[in-house]
């Protein structure tokens, strides 16, 4: 059974930094692209970032480009998201999710068939 | 990467059919047949219901169907059941290895 468990979310001041982590199990982690999707309170989903199975191809939404960095450790089955220069509008529940189809690349289409329960990031002074 | 447009809410009675629309642009929905739909219950993670515009993952009831015309994708739920009451989110490939979601639609079963 695929399991994804996010951690690292907390309350942080504007301009601060956080590192989110997603521990994966139940599948061959290195064979699948992974992604981060966030959801602000009472709002829809927003794609944040994705990374290829081999970790060499990261991609970002314009809203976070230059501030967030996605990475993965395939030896320890972990996905990461480094959040820098945080803003109030980054406040959201951050989900990690697994792409449905096995691939070493980050190449469309992207469908997410397994999700974690999310970790809350709150940016406030 | 502007969000896809979904109506905020839709409702229907048990047994009826409802359609949820998702409007994008020629840069996303209109160009790519990479549209998906996710169901989300309050306090839970999303669940993939439709991919490639019309396909259903294993285990998703055939009451759920997807379609697309021009820049608008649609999710139709026939034979509405109480358990279908949830939020539904559309998603499309938007080029440049990026994705865009809609704002979500709350389905109420009357």
d(CA A37, CA A12): 19
Query: Measured between CA atoms, how close is A33 to chain B, in angstroms?
Result: 12
Instruction: Give me the pLDDT at residue B36, please.
Output: 98
Q: Is the pLDDT of residue A96 over 80?
A: yes
Nearest residue in chain B measured CA to CA from A109: B34
Q: Of the candidates A45, A46, A106, which has its C-beta nearest B97's C-beta?
A: A106
Strands A92-99 and A78-83: unpaired
* Chain A CB contacts of B49 below 8 Å: none
Chain centroid to Cα A37, Å, comes to: 6
Q: What are phi and psi of A72, to 5 degrees?
A: -150, 155
Cα-Cα-Cα-Cα torsion B25, A92, A54, A23, nearest 10 degrees, comes to: -150
Q: Is there a contact between B73 and B67 (Cβ–Cβ < 8 Å)?
A: yes
Instruction: Please give the share of chain A, as a percent, with pLDDT higher than 90.
Output: 94
The reply to whether B43 touches chain A by the CB within 8 Å rule is: no
* Chain A CB contacts of B31 below 8 Å: none
- What is the arithmetic mean of pLDDT over B68-95? 97
Q: Is there a contact between A78 and A23 (Cβ–Cβ < 8 Å)?
A: yes
d(CA A83, CA B57): 33
Instruction: Give me the pLDDT at residue B24, please.
Output: 97
Task: Inspect the interface and report whether the beta carbons of A111 and B36 lie closer than 8 Å.
Answer: yes
Q: What is the largest CA-CA distance in chain B?
A: 41
Q: How many CB atoms lie within 10 A of CB A28?
A: 11
* Chain A CB contacts of B104 below 8 Å: 43-45
* C-alpha R_g of chain B: 13
Instruction: Give me the pLDDT at residue A103, please.
Output: 86
* Chain A CB contacts of B47 below 8 Å: 115
Q: Is there a contact between B66 and B50 (Cβ–Cβ < 8 Å)?
A: yes
Task: Inspect the interface and report whether the beta carbons of B45 and A115 lie closer than 8 Å.
Answer: yes
Q: Quick one: tokens of A19?
A: 């590192």
Angle (CA) A62-A38-A3 rounded to 5° is 125
Q: Is the pLDDT of residue B12 over 90?
A: yes
Band (B2; pLDDT cuts 50, 70, 90): confident
Task: Inspect the interface and report whether the beta carbons of A47 and B34 lie closer than 8 Å.
Answer: no
* Chain B CB contacts of A48 below 8 Å: none
Q: How far is CA A36 from CA A49, A112, B18, B41, B56, in A?
A: 5, 10, 30, 19, 23
d(CA A26, CA A29): 8
Task: Inspect the interface and report whether the beta carbons of A45 and B34 lie closer than 8 Å.
Answer: no
Q: What is the pLDDT of residues B87-96, one digit of tens each?
A: 999 999 999 9
Instruction: Give me the pLDDT at residue A105, please.
Output: 86
Q: What is the pLDDT of residues A98-122, one digit of tens each?
A: 999 988 888 888 999 999 999 999 9
Q: Is the pLDDT of residue B1 over 80?
A: no
Task: Inspect the interface and report whether the beta carbons of A109 and B93 lie closer than 8 Å.
Answer: yes
Instruction: Give me the pLDDT at residue A107, please.
Output: 86
Instruction: Give me the pLDDT at residue A24, please.
Output: 98
The average confidence (pLDDT) of chain B is 97
Q: Is the pLDDT of residue A62 over 80?
A: yes
Beta bridge partners, B18, equal B77
Where helices occur in chain B by DSSP H, the ranges are none
Contacts of residue B105, defined as CB under 8 A and 6 or more positions apart, other chains included, come to: B6, B7, B8, B9, B10, B20, B87, B88, B89
């Amino acid at each position: 059974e695929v399991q994804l468990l996010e951690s690292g979310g907390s309350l942080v001041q504007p301009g601060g930094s956080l590192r989110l982590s997603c521990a994966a199990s139940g599948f061959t982690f290195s064979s699948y692209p992974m992604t981060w999707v966030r959801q602000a309170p009472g709002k829809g989903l927003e794609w944040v970032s994705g990374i290829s199975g081999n970790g060499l191809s990261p991609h970002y939404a314009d809203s976070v480009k230059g501030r967030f960095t996605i990475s993965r450790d395939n030896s320890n089955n972990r996905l990461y998201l480094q959040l820098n220069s945080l803003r109030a509008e980054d406040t959201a529940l951050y989900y990690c999710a697994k792409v449905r189809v096995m691939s070493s690349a980050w190449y469309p289409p992207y469908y997410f068939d397994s999700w974690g329960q999310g970790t809350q990031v709150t940016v406030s002074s | 990467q502007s969000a896809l447009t979904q109506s905020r809410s839709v409702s229907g009675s048990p047994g009826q059919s409802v359609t949820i629309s998702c409007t994008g642009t020629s840069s996303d929905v209109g160009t790519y047949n990479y549209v998906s739909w996710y169901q989300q219950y309050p306090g839970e993670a999303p669940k993939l219901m439709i991919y490639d515009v019309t396909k259903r993952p294993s285990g998703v009831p055939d009451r759920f169907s997807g379609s697309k015309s021009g820049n608008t994708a649609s999710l139709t739920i026939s034979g509405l059941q109480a358990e279908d009451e949830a939020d539904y989110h559309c998603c499309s490939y938007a080029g440049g290895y990026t994705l865009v979601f809609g704002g979500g639609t709350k389905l109420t079963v009357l």
